[in-house]
A and B are shown apart, each in its own frame.
Chain A
Amino acid sequence: MRIIGCRECDAVVVEPFVPDGGAAYCDRCGGLLFRRHSRTIEVCFALVVAAAILFAVANLYPFLAFQMQGQTTRTTLVSGTRALLDQGENAVAALVFLTTIASPACEIGLLLYVLAPVHFGVRLPGLALAFRFVEQFRPWSMMEVFLIGILVAGVKLADLAEIVPGIALYAFGLLIPILAAASNFLDAELVWRRIAGEP
């Protein structure tokens, strides 16, 4: 018998039995208690590896090219931040860098660092600390919002010039559902138990 708590209302309950793939919700406030996926570590590890590759592609290649009267400019993820810095908007540049590059990179990288040793049964130092940071970076990782931003910007420029989508845009389009699936499949309680060496 295990005691778990509801994150949203602090009710304490005896962990209910949940079949694989199911979820438990709080009786009192209706908040999600946990989702149970017995293969969470294998599935998430595979998804995060795919996400890491796509994230690298999304960073290395341009996501939009802009052609006007023979001149072409291309943007990569980092060139947005650089353009804001050039115009002296350091705070906005920092925010864009944090939410589209730093946080997703840390989230993906740290998840790999945590899931790989747990998956392969190796002990590495700092797993608890790394998994803690994953939780802390998540609210600041906003790539799905950035994708909508790309679409809106593309529509706004369509009248003015020719817009050519780049490889990074397709990588983005794949990356976002994969990351969403990874965080859906992640049964954090199971990962914490494995990290802490609990049965």
Chain B
Amino acid sequence: MRYSPLVGGPHAQCPVCRLVMKAPEERPDAPLGCPRCGASVHRRKPESLARTTAYLVAALICYVPANLYPIMRSTSLGRAQEDTIVSGVAYLYHSGMWPLGTIVLIASVVVPIAKIVSLGGLVASVRRRSRWRPRDRAATYRIVELVGRWSMVDVYVVTILVALVHLGTLANVEVMFGAVFFAAVVVLTILAAESFDPRLIWDVLEEEEGRDVRT
């Protein structure tokens, strides 16, 4: 194997410029300053599991009203209609735009809950000091980080509709508070993903490797 995590004692890696530096032997978790870019360096993201869990719980709480309550109300020639996330998807399917409907369904309904579940699973696996398929868990985290932003699409759709359709009694679109909860879900899941430190997945394996070397 080419990697050698224990070479030369504890090390830390700058989260911004990725410079690898020696961490102090007796207090490896003390914060350092990066000599190259000046960012503050922690060996692991501080309080990673607690912060990720907090963001996930908050996101889960907001997920319910985000889907139950309407995100917008559109009035057209005196006829008012309230739309939730799901009814917006249904509309796209009914008008034959199933590729867009599928994108929105995945981005707005599936991605947020899948993100909450997989990050929750990652946090639980690290807490239980699991050694199960670390490569797959690392890949899961990579995907979560990559797709999370696409949930914003519904927030943008509402924004554009509101900006375009304001013709008084003829046609009008208003934001409703479901959209606020939905935006909160997106932001909270992005913050949760940023708080999680994927290096924790490997720490338990590294400790065991170290033990093997000594015995």
- Once the chains bind, are B18 and A92 in contact (CB under 8 Å)? no
- Once the chains bind, are A96 and B155 in contact (CB under 8 Å)? yes
B95 proximal to A (CB < 8 A): yes
- Once the chains bind, are A80 and B160 in contact (CB under 8 Å)? yes
Q: Which of B135-192 contact A (CB under 8 A)?
A: 135, 138-139, 141-142, 149-150, 152-157, 159-167, 170-171, 174-175, 179-180, 183, 187, 190
Q: Which residues of B contact A12 (CB under 8 A)?
A: 3-5, 7, 11, 20
- Once the chains bind, are A148 and B103 in contact (CB under 8 Å)? yes
- Once the chains bind, are B164 and A64 in contact (CB under 8 Å)? yes
- Once the chains bind, are A13 and B2 in contact (CB under 8 Å)? yes
Binding stretch for chain A, among B33-41, B56-64, B115-123, B124-132: B33-41
B30 proximal to A (CB < 8 A): no
Taking A29-B202, A68-B167 as contacts, is the C-beta distance between A132 and B161 under 8 angstroms?
no
Contact residue among B142, B159, B165 (Cβ-Cβ distance under 8 Å from A157)? B165
A154 to chain B, nearest CB (A): 8
Total A-B Cβ pairs within 8 A? 196
- Once the chains bind, are B17 and A155 in contact (CB under 8 Å)? no
Taking A13-B3, A155-B97 as contacts, is the C-beta distance between A150 and B76 under 8 angstroms?
no
A191 to chain B, nearest CB (A): 9
Closest to A148 in B: B153
- Once the chains bind, are B161 and A153 in contact (CB under 8 Å)? yes
B210 to chain A, nearest CB (A): 14
Q: Which of A131-176 contact B (CB under 8 A)?
A: 131-132, 135-136, 139, 142, 145-146, 148-153, 155-157, 159-161
Total interface residues in chain A, CB < 8 Å? 67
Taking A64-B164, A84-B162, A157-B165 as contacts, is the C-beta distance between A8 and B37 under 8 angstroms?
no
6 interchain residue pairs of minimum CB distance:
A149-B156, A11-B3, A153-B160, A83-B163, A5-B13, A80-B159
- Interface, chain B (partner A; CB < 8 A): 1-5, 7, 11, 13, 16-20, 36-39, 76, 88, 91-92, 95, 97, 100, 103-104, 107, 134-135, 138-139, 141-142, 149-150, 152-157, 159-167, 170-171, 174-175, 179-180, 183, 187, 190, 194, 198-199, 201-202
Can you identify 14 A-B contacts, CB atoms within 8 angstroms? Answer: A7-B13, A11-B5, A73-B164, A83-B163, A89-B180, A128-B37, A132-B37, A145-B149, A152-B100, A152-B104, A155-B95, A156-B88, A156-B91, A160-B171
